[in-house]
Structure 1
Amino acid sequence: MDGAWVYLVTGGCGFVGERIVELLSQQDYIKEVRVFDSVAREEVEKFSTGTENVLRACCVLSIPFLLYTSSIAAVGPNTSCEPLLRGDEDTEYSGEVELPYGKTKAMAERIVLEANGKKLSNGGTLRTCVIRANTVYGEKAAFLQELYLLARARNGVLNYLEPENTERNHTYVGNVAWMHVLAARNLQLKPEQLAGQVYYCYDDTPSRKGFLVRLQLLSSADPSVRLGSHIPYWKMWLVIQLHRVIRAILSPFWRPQPFLNVPLLNTIVTSFSFETDKASRHFGYKPLFTWQESRLRTAQWLRAAAGSLAAPQLHGKKN
């Protein structure tokens, strides 16, 4: 069995997918790694490559294992903006999810977990599990590039929206990818343990005061970046509403790109964090990179990329 496995990574040209492909290609039990991504092949764009189609293909082609990449956004925050502090995979949290992205992830999670145990065309059984990522940083993280550009435009000042007591998890992209590799392998070896399970991504990146984590990442690349001031919720809410009015008035002639909306603002200012070791207990996950290594690797990339970063364009792009 070892050496004969073929892995397919959907979205394998993306930020996390690219790192998963890189790590999979280094494993000696894998015969071949295939990538399915609209970036890689333009003809893929004509297909509707949703989760339901992936599950249908697994059943028809007798693919016995499926690992789905979800997000903490599938859990919350909810529309009431109720906080979750250091929960785990078994913590109960209810209510309608605030962000549209989270709603689609929650729907996909449900159909993936419901498909666990389905019969395959060859008589076998499909085994599925879910990994929930959070805020993933590292080389090629677009949000870090945008933050750095904004800080440079403000003479190195990094302002922030969330209150100082807000907690959010960040995980280095290399550790997220490594958890996927281990989970996929152990789903094959120990399906009775992993099938039907959900796992949060984690490493030793600090979870308290997320704006300080971002500051450390940016200032490690550029020491001139320094912490600015907290932007009150009411002020940003007014800016969003004003932007909506201007956009409506000017829409026949000019459509400025929305930079933020109220649901996303509500999510940013709501504490939503977890604390778990489930992946370690179930399949021996340990981060490949420490917080110090992750910060250094991210800073090295950001410094190298800084020269090619364009000035921020907040209003010129059409939808």
Structure 2
Amino acid sequence: MDGAWVYLVTGGCGFVGERIVELLSQQDYIKEVRVFDSVAREEVEKFSTGTENVVRACCALSIPYLLYTSSIAAVGPNTSCEPLLRGNEDTQYTGEVELPYGKTKAMAEKIVLEANGAKLSNGGTLRTCILRANTVYGEKAGFLQELYLLARARRGVLNYLEPEDTERNHTYVGNVAWMHVLAARHLQLKAELLAGQVYYCYDDTPSRKGFLVRHQLLSSADPSVKLGSHIPYWKMWLMIQLHRIIRAILSPFWRPQPFLNVPLLNTIVTTFSFETDKASRHFGYKPLFTWQESRLRTAQWLKAAAGSLGPPQLQEKKN
């Protein structure tokens, strides 16, 4: 019944979760939005995975719909760093996922999909579906703050790691959140279509070249930010190994945090992109924010946040 729905958002205080809560609270068919979030602690990490607990709770409490937020990292790149160029939800891509984050997302996806059709305590049926986010940008995106600090430390020069022919999708956080709102609603209205399905998140962010998107976002906030040059793979690989050696030598006295590792570097330089309209076909998704609006909102936030970022802490390095 419209106006009687109660939504629970787990991780609702996070970067994407906060925007989902904001948009849900504006829908007149929802009676209440509840938020659950916590900081992982050692004493609770020993209990199974969070996704398994959510599925069990749905079955025990007869909650009939579950929408899971996953990531393109659940698909790949694999350990062989095989590229995926403009695939879609039906594209076959095999091999062990490279990053630990992606491995846990893949495990969670399996749990959610296998739970679709599970029996609830009241005799009903659980319906589940999955949204896969990619690189999400927008207000409060921590990686943009870090990149801006790096650029400021290098006199406004923004260098990049991926080769110029590498493709990656980017999506504005408001559009990722809007897709969640629509998918959750239509999972209720058209369960026979959405249940058991996986959808990639997308919008009209124009370039698949991540370094160009990042430059446009940062330069919109600060025109002094200039696009620098490509950092060769071998140079960054050597820096990672040198950092590991220094860390091992200094470990009794100081343990600097690793700034990058080889699996992450391999992922950055591997093309992994998709092209789809499945969400539009299945539940009428259209981006709530245009690229121009997304860029403006992000730039305004970054300008406002710049004053609290403090002076650059990194020394300029010669490439």
Normalised by the shorter chain, which TM-score bucket? over 0.9
**Cα distance change on mapping 1:77 and 1:315 into 2, 3 Å:** farther
TM-score by length of 2: 0.95
Distance 1:53 1:169 in 2: 31
- Match of 2:32, SS? strand
**Cα distance change on mapping 1:139 and 1:318 into 2, 3 Å:** farther
Distance 2:270 2:29 in 1: 43
Distance 1:113 1:172 in 2: 26
Structure 1 residue 38 displacement after superposition = 1.1
Distance 2:79 2:240 in 1: 18
Distance 1:317 1:125 in 2: 59
**Cα distance change on mapping 1:280 and 1:60 into 2, 3 Å:** same
Distance 1:252 1:127 in 2: 52
Distance 1:318 1:105 in 2: 38
Residue 100 of structure 1 is matched in structure 2 by 100
Distance 1:88 1:118 in 2: 27
CA contact (8 A) 1:77 1:267 kept: yes
What count of residue pairs does the alignment treat as equivalent?
Answer: 319
CA contact (8 A) 1:116 1:195 kept: yes
Structure 1 residue 298 displacement after superposition = 0.2
Structure 1 residue 206 displacement after superposition = 2.2
List 4+ stretches of structure 1 deviating above 6 A: 40-49, 314-319
CA contact (8 A) 1:256 1:315 kept: no
Residue 219 of structure 1 is matched in structure 2 by 219
Distance 1:289 1:37 in 2: 27
Structure 2 spans left out of the alignment, 5+ residues: none
**Cα distance change on mapping 1:40 and 1:34 into 2, 3 Å:** farther
Residue by residue over 1:122-172, the C-alpha shift from the partner in whole angstroms, topping out at 9 and shown as x without a partner, is 000000000000000000000000000000010000000000000000000
Distance 2:265 2:57 in 1: 38
CA contact (8 A) 2:220 2:296 kept: yes
Structure 1 residue 182 displacement after superposition = 0.2
CA contact (8 A) 1:13 1:39 kept: no
Residue by residue over 1:57-115, the C-alpha shift from the partner in whole angstroms, topping out at 9 and shown as x without a partner, is 00000000000000000000000000000000000000000000000000000010000
**Cα distance change on mapping 1:195 and 1:312 into 2, 3 Å:** farther
CA contact (8 A) 2:89 2:198 kept: yes
Distance 2:202 2:69 in 1: 14
Give the superposed CA RMSD. Answer: 3.3
Distance 2:41 2:13 in 1: 10
Residue by residue over 1:259-305, the C-alpha shift from the partner in whole angstroms, topping out at 9 and shown as x without a partner, is 00000000000000000000000000000001111000000000000
Structure 1 residue 44 displacement after superposition = 9.1
Distance 2:41 2:67 in 1: 23
Deviates more, 1:49-58 or 1:220-229: 49-58
- Match of 2:309, SS? coil
Deviates more, 1:194-203 or 1:303-312: 303-312
Identity %: 92
Structure 1 residue 314 displacement after superposition = 7.3
Residue by residue over 1:226-265, the C-alpha shift from the partner in whole angstroms, topping out at 9 and shown as x without a partner, is 0111100000000000000000110010000100000000
CA contact (8 A) 1:86 1:273 kept: yes
CA contact (8 A) 2:153 2:315 kept: no
**Cα distance change on mapping 1:6 and 1:317 into 2, 3 Å:** farther
Structure 1 residue 207 displacement after superposition = 3.7
Distance 2:98 2:195 in 1: 28
Residue 240 of structure 2 is matched in structure 1 by 240
Structure 1 residue 210 displacement after superposition = 1.1
Residue 154 of structure 1 is matched in structure 2 by 154
Structure 1 residue 313 displacement after superposition = 5.7
- Match of 1:132, SS? strand
Structure 1 residue 43 displacement after superposition = 12
**Cα distance change on mapping 1:3 and 1:318 into 2, 3 Å:** farther
Distance 1:2 1:44 in 2: 37
